[in-house]
Structure 1
Amino acid sequence: MSSEISRNKNWFFDILKACWGVLNFTRKAILNLIFIVLAVLIIGALSFEQKEKPIIFADNSVLELKLVGEIVEEKRFVDPYSEILNDAIGSSSDNPEILITDILNAIDAAAEDDKIVLLHLNLHGLFNSSMTHLQEIGIALKRFKETSGKPIIAYGDYYTQAQYYLAAHADEVVMNPMGSVILEGFGRYQMYYKDALESLKITSHVFRVGTFKSAVEPYLRNDMSDAAKEANEQWLGVLWDQYKSDVSALRNLSEDSFDESLDSLLSKFKAAGGDFSQYALNSKLIDAVMTHQEFDAFVQQKVEQKEPNYIALSDYLDYVDQTIQPIVKDKVAIVVASGTIYDGVRKPGEIGGHSTAELLKMAREDDAVKAVVLRVNSPGGSAFASEIIRNEVLALKQAGKPVIASMSGVAASGGYWISASADEIWASPTTITGSIGIFGMFMTYEKSLQHLGLSTDGVGTTELAGYGPTQALPAKLGDIIQLSIEQGYREFINLVSTERGMTPKAVDQIAQGRVWSGQTAKELGLVDHLGYYDDAILAAAQRAELEDYEIIQITKPMKGFDKIIQELLGLAKVNLGYEPTPSTNQKVMSALKSVLKDTTRWIEFNDPRHMYVYCVQCDIAN
């Protein structure tokens, strides 16, 4: 009896402890939330006052180009209220992003700034980035050295392949003695789900056109098809050749040293005593190894100052904003189309058929805008939404405003669709483009439910009434869907044929869903010019016959109070010295995100006809 009473007491106290834990957590979260809101408002308000004052830097300053996160064309929308709440409960999930335009503007401004005497590349926090973005930054770094004669120094605890590409542009590449740098090459690997779906008794219904449209292969096979391997090897080879060519020229290395076998690599590591940093020195990948303290002394010697004045990228961008030239009447507008293409309205960082078309419409209706650059970084998505956007491109041209498509790292499938009607298409040699094909896919679960003893039954006024994913797909309905996919493919082929001045047969031969590098796409006639962001802007200005013009980006303005909160939050983080911490397990996180993307993609897709122009294979491992 006493033991039973004891158990009841323990049970009662366990409940009390659990309730107290919940109450205590809620109390702390609310107090933290109140504190953070007050801190944001106070520090943000003080920051606004500081922004009114001119920013002044000392002579002999060092611009620290500290790149933390992923390089993007447009930052994803982050709800400021959710961000405050996440910070309050300690569950902030930063996936930091850096605008490519911010990096380029800072480098170019520093080249002409007499106060900046040295550029320090701090690349430790840089995530994997597209070759196009890396090359654009590399070109800016070369321009910095050529026009200013100022030195660039790179320092890293270690270097990933993407980080090393930028570091190679420095006059001196320095690494921590405990660091490493290994250049692995480019690869394209993915998960395959055929056996798993069969085990779960899930039926995949796939409708596609194109020999190389491998977007749906993971659901039909357990391995990569020969056709997909052939296509992937071709464009991956172009990217790797470009990487080797650029880095070998910068570091005076042989391109053959980048394609080492494991036997050769093992031999070199044995010669280095298994020391990664010694291997990097022996291979001439780096110039020196230094601890943090030794590197600080090294910089002091370079600038001849005991305490060098380091300028952060964000501070320098604020400084540059103060020195912008007076506004010019004529404008070249940039409209960014970055991310997956969805139907309807989407937040920044994704493409919505209606929301992106609205941005193009804003440019069309602005009399000051004389030309438009459509900056595309997208693997595609909804065919319906892609056509909505392309129609607005046509409306811009009909209004007499030239449109230049500037392809970033990826402009494939739907990304190519929205670019096709531009007056000119510019791509970098390493842009991933093409993938002219179309598919439809959905899954049904009738066998899974039957296995669990569940069934679906009912009546309808037609054969289609009430049909859903819990029922088997009628064969004739499958035939109808396949016919619509084939019609969509013909529509895509005819679109490219008309806009590129090619016969439908010629387009079909280079379409079939196959992915091409920008370099090969130029040879095939799918793009007009090889170049970068600045080249596209210049082309737009020339088409509009502009000599003096201002470059603006068309964005949808945030609501007043939301904008104030977001600005206050950003300013508070800067003044508190907050910065996101990069993950040390980027490869693991990248693999997990890839699997998550595969499983959620079909839930998020929302084309009203279930027809997709999307390039799954355009995600590569750097």
Structure 2
Amino acid sequence: MKTFFLSMAGAFAAMFVFILLVVSFFVILIVGATNSAPPAPDRIVLSLDLNMELPDQSPVGGLAAFSQTPGFIDLLTKLKAAEADDAVKGLYLRGAMIGVGSARAEELRQAFHSFRDSGKFIIAHTQGTYGMSGPSALRSLTAADEIWIQPGTDLFATGVTFETEFLAGLFEKIDVRSEIYPFYEYKNAPNSYNETAYTEPHREAMTALADSIWDVSLSDIADDRGLSVESVRSALESGPKSAQEVIDLKIMDKLGWPEEAEDAAKERAGEDAELVELATYMPPTISLKAPLIAVVGGEGPIVTGGAEGGSPFSSPPAFASDAIARAILDAGDNDKVKAIVFRVDSPGGSPTASDQIWRAIKRVQEKGKPVVVSMGSVAASGGYYVSAGADYIMADRSTITGSIGIFGGKFALEGAFNKIGVTFDTVSVGGEFADAYGTGTFTQAQEAEVKAWLKRGYDRFLGIVGEGRGMTYDEVHEVARGRVWSGEDAIEKGLVDEIGGFMDAIDKAKELGGIDADVTPRLTFYPRRKSGFEALESLFGVSEETARVAYMLGTVANDDRMQVLIEDLARADAVNSGQMLAVGPRLREH
């Protein structure tokens, strides 16, 4: 009875919210009809606060879709469009207090250079202290014409550190046996379960990756500021610097407060200039007759199935194979679409799901529709799997990619349960493998079968990469074996065609799709982005009690270290249920 009343209360609450929103909507329409819209400013200074936490791509479900949360790639496209808007004079940039991620900093830097090359200015302001966030926060600012730093603050732009948690010591204490087998020695994700510290191959790969990201970061900062790489290295590797020291070293230009830098930007733009947030800026419209390029976005872990379900207070899986494969096929069926840009930002996931998405790409290519992959911050393991068949692959120098390999197995939990007095007995028919995924350890025959199954999966992965990249099995195996590479190194290994960001991928899609270089295409997004009120539909039928639980879980999940544990549990559950995984190592850069 209590559940009934709670459900009824939730239904009435949802109905009340819906009525309130509908009434508000019509009030807005009436007010809008009786009041003329204010004229667009003649002089605009766009503003961008890098402290905003944005997904790579705009969410297609949940409250985030209802609120029309923009994605990172939306900011890039708006900034590019603003280059041709005569009303836009410049950009006021607020620096991030923590890192924005190295690949994202690289794409921002490229966008800022293009914006400046169009004849517009950028004034940046930072409040200095970046803590242990690495070089990305600084790297995202140095392309500005002028950088202000708040008095009394410090710059703390350290090197690159990757931190990995290891659970083998815990498993030993509680008598859990990790029987998870990686293919091959560089497949580092299961090391969290199998080891107490880095193996030599694991350390080798992580060190090479950190060196690559640090070197390209120093090079970019030095180029932007007209300094030598060695002088920047010396300054940043010697610890925190006061605001005045930063200016003396010519890493930044002026001391000042945020409002002073903002005023300087508006003054430079001219009389009556107004500040407009980049996220809300509406660029000039593109002709409906312009050729179409489809953008298909996949972000997060790659999973089988669709994108529906789950809590409406959180975004649905953004890399669900049914949804992404269907998006690619739908884009391929649209005769007006000249080419597809597939934006991949994923550490990997299910090989089965990755296979489904790979096949969808092959099908649209068979219809003569070119596919260009734009890799975001990470496109590793399954994220590389879904990319391998594209006509062209682009990555940032700081993108984490490769990790061509798989793992699988299980956790033998019988010993842990025995410690607390729980015992198991088994009746099993159907062959020796029938009880392989029970609580006990694998028999020798079961272990051999699991490894043979994983080897078949690894060989298929390599075959797909070899076909897509024009390489032999042995050539792929040499750069695979589960190893991650930076985009900079992946170029040399033949895994990527060109260094470039999302806007470069659009240009390449124009070329492959036969669109003239001087023509601006329209972008159409797949899966289709829902309007705010379409996204609201997913809220109906949710009880008040469910909403509270979902909200609390969402708050907990936002904690970085809690997120690590949640991901560990999700991977462990998948492996323990007999799934093969193509997942790269979790990298927390700081």
| TM-score interval for Structure 1 and Structure 2 normalised by the shorter chain | 0.7 to 0.9
2:140 aligned counterpart, secondary structure: helix
Deviations 1:309-335 (A, max 9, x none): 22122331xx32xx3122126422111
1:221 Cα shift?
1.2
8 Å CA contact 1:438, 1:513 repeated in 2: yes
Tell me, in whole angstroms, the C-alpha distance in 1 between the residues paired with 2:92 and 2:346. Answer: 31
Aligned to 2:497: 528
Is the aligned partner of 1:280 residue 2:263? no
Partner secondary structure for residue 420 of structure 1: coil
How far apart, CA to CA, are the structure 2 residues paired with 1:43 and 1:83?
A: 19
After superposition, residues 429-444 of structure 1 pair within 5 angstroms as: 429-444=397-412
Match of 2:447 in 1: 478
User: CA distance change for structure 1 residues 50 and 72 in 2, over 3 Å: closer, same or farther?
Assistant: farther
Q: Which residue of 1 aligns with 2:360?
A: 392
> Which structure carries more helix by proportion?
1
Native 8 Å contact 2:219 2:229 kept in 1? yes
Three-state SS of the structure 2 residue aligned to 1:227 is: helix
Q: Distance in 2 between matches of 1:395 and 1:608?
A: 31
Rounded Cα–Cα distance in structure 1 between residues aligned with 2:70 and 2:529: 20
Q: Provide the C-alpha distance between the structure 2 equivalents of 1:330 and 1:301, rounded to a whole number of angstroms.
A: 38
Given residue 562 of structure 1, which amino acid in structure 2 is its aligned partner?
Answer: E
SS across alignment from 1:421:
coil
Give the secondary structure class of the aligned counterpart of 2:495.
Answer: coil
Helix, strand or coil for the counterpart of 2:340? strand
1:597 aligns with 2:567: yes
Give the aligned residue type for 1:378.
S
**Residue-by-residue CA offset, 1:154-208 (whole Å, 9 max, x unaligned):** 1122353433222212222112223332111222111111111111211211122
Amino-acid identity (%):
26
Aligned: 1:544 with 2:509:
no
Equivalent residue, structure 1, for 2:86:
114
Q: Secondary structure at the match of 1:449?
A: helix
For 2:259 and 2:340, how far apart are their aligned partners in 1? Answer: 49
Q: How does 1:91-240 map to 2 (within 5 A)?
A: 98-124=70-96, 128-148=99-119, 150-158=120-128, 160=130, 161-240=135-214
- SS of aligned partner of 2:339: strand
Structure 1: unaligned runs, 5 residues or longer: 1-24, 85-93, 270-275, 568-587
The whole-number CA distance in structure 1 between the counterparts of 2:32 and 2:507 is: 32
Q: Deviations over 1:580-610 (max 9, x none)?
A: xxxxxxxx9434433443333333x489861
For the 8 Å contact 2:158–2:237, the answer to whether it is kept is: no
Match of 1:66 among 24, 38, 49: 49
Query: Would you say the 8 A contact 2:101–2:589 is kept in 1?
Result: no
Confirm or deny: 8 A CA contact 1:207 1:441 kept in the other structure.
yes
For the residues of structure 2 that align with 1:503 and 1:230, how far apart are their CA atoms? Answer: 25
157 and 607 in structure 1: CA distance in 2 versus 1, 3 angstrom threshold: same
Read off the aligned partner of 2:52 and give its amino acid letter: G
1:490 positional shift: 1.5
Alpha-carbon distance between aligned partners in 2 of 1:371 and 1:528, rounded to the nearest angstrom: 17
Query: Structure 1 residues 292 and 401 mapped into 2: Cα distance closer, same or farther (>3 Å)?
Result: closer
Does residue 372 in structure 1 map to residue 340 in structure 2? yes
Residue by residue over 1:127-152, the C-alpha shift from the partner in whole angstroms, topping out at 9 and shown as x without a partner, is 6433332222212211222212x321
Amino acid at match of 1:190: T
User: Residue in 2 aligned with 1:22?
Assistant: none
Does the Cα contact within 8 Å between 2:180 and 2:410 map onto a contact in 1? yes
- Aligned match of 1:3: none
Deviation at 1:245, TM superposition (A): 0.8
In 1, Cα distance between the equivalents of 2:570 and 2:529? 29
2:303 to 309, 327, 342: 342
Bigger radius of gyration among the two: 1
Structure 1 residue 466, shift from structure 2 partner = 5.9
Of 448-457 and 64-73, more deviation after overlay is shown by 64-73
Give the total of aligned pairs.
552
> What is the CA deviation profile of residues 371-415 of structure 1, one whole-angstrom value per residue up to 9, with x for unaligned ones?
222221111110111111111111111112122222222111111
Mark the CA change 1:262 to 1:558 in structure 2 (over 3 Å): closer, same or farther. Answer: closer
CA contact (8 A) 2:291 2:336 kept: yes
User: Hey, what does 1:420 align to over in structure 2?
Assistant: 388
Q: 1:513 Cα shift? A: 0.8
Equivalences for 1:515-594 in 2 at 5 Å? 515-547=484-516, 549-556=521-528, 558=530, 562-563=534-535, 589-594=559-564
Q: Distance in 2 between matches of 1:203 and 1:469?
A: 13
1:356 counterpart SS class:
helix
**Matched residue of 1:62: which SS?**
strand
Decide which moves more: 62-71 or 256-265.
Answer: 256-265
TM-score computed with the length of structure 2 as normaliser: 0.83
**Kindly tell me: are residues 116 and 39 of structure 1, through their superposed partners in 2, closer, same or farther at Cα, counting changes over 3 Å?**
farther
**Amino acid aligned to 1:100:** F
Kept in 1, the 8 Å contact 2:62–2:535? The answer is no
Instruction: Answer yes or no: is the 8 Å Cα contact 2:294–2:524 preserved in 1.
Output: yes
TM-score, normalised with respect to structure 1: 0.79
Deviates more, 1:400-409 or 1:476-485: 400-409
Whole-angstrom CA distance in 2 between matches of 1:606 and 1:51: 55
1:291 aligns with 2:261: no
Q: Name the residue aligned to 2:461.
A: 492
- Supply the distance in 1 between the matched residues of 2:20 and 2:299 (Cα, whole angstroms): 33
Partner of 1:311: 276
1:611 corresponds, among 569, 580, 590, to 580
Cα displacement string for residues 243-296 of structure 1 (whole angstroms, at most 9, x for unaligned residues): 111111111233224444999448xx6xxxxxx323323333222222345445
Q: 1:349 to 1:481 in 2, by over 3 A?
A: same
Do 1:103 and 1:137's aligned partners in 2 also have CA atoms closer than 8 Å?
Answer: no
Q: Find the aligned partners of 1:48 and 1:358 in 2 and give their Cα distance.
A: 35
Query: Does 2:62 correspond to 1:79?
Result: yes
Secondary structure, aligned partner of 2:243: helix
Aligned to 1:341, what secondary structure does the other structure show?
A: coil
CA-to-aligned-CA distance 1:329-366 (integer Å, 9 cap, x gap): 64221111221111112355531122211111111222
Q: Deviations over 1:539-576 (max 9, x none)?
A: 22322323354321111465995336699xxxxxxxxx
Amino acid corresponding to residue 149 of structure 2 in structure 1: M
The answer to whether the Cα contact below 8 Å between 1:342 and 1:606 also exists between their aligned partners in 2 is no
C-alpha distance in structure 1 between counterparts of 2:137 and 2:60, whole Å? 26
Q: Amino acid of the residue matched to residue 530 of structure 1?
A: I
Residue-by-residue CA offset, 1:38-86 (whole Å, 9 max, x unaligned) = 6644544445567787663223332212344334332345523x999xx
| Backbone CA RMSD of aligned residues | 3.5
> C-alpha distance in 2, partners of 1:444/1:541?
53
One-letter amino acid matched to 1:597: E
Separation of aligned partners in 2, 1:465 and 1:238 = 47
| Farther off after superposition, 377-386 or 100-109 | 100-109
Residues 50 and 100 of structure 2 are in contact (CA less than 8 Å); yes or no, is this contact kept in structure 1? Answer: no
Maintained 8 Å contact 2:125/2:258: no
1:356 aligns with 2:318: no
Matched residue of 1:214: which SS? Answer: coil
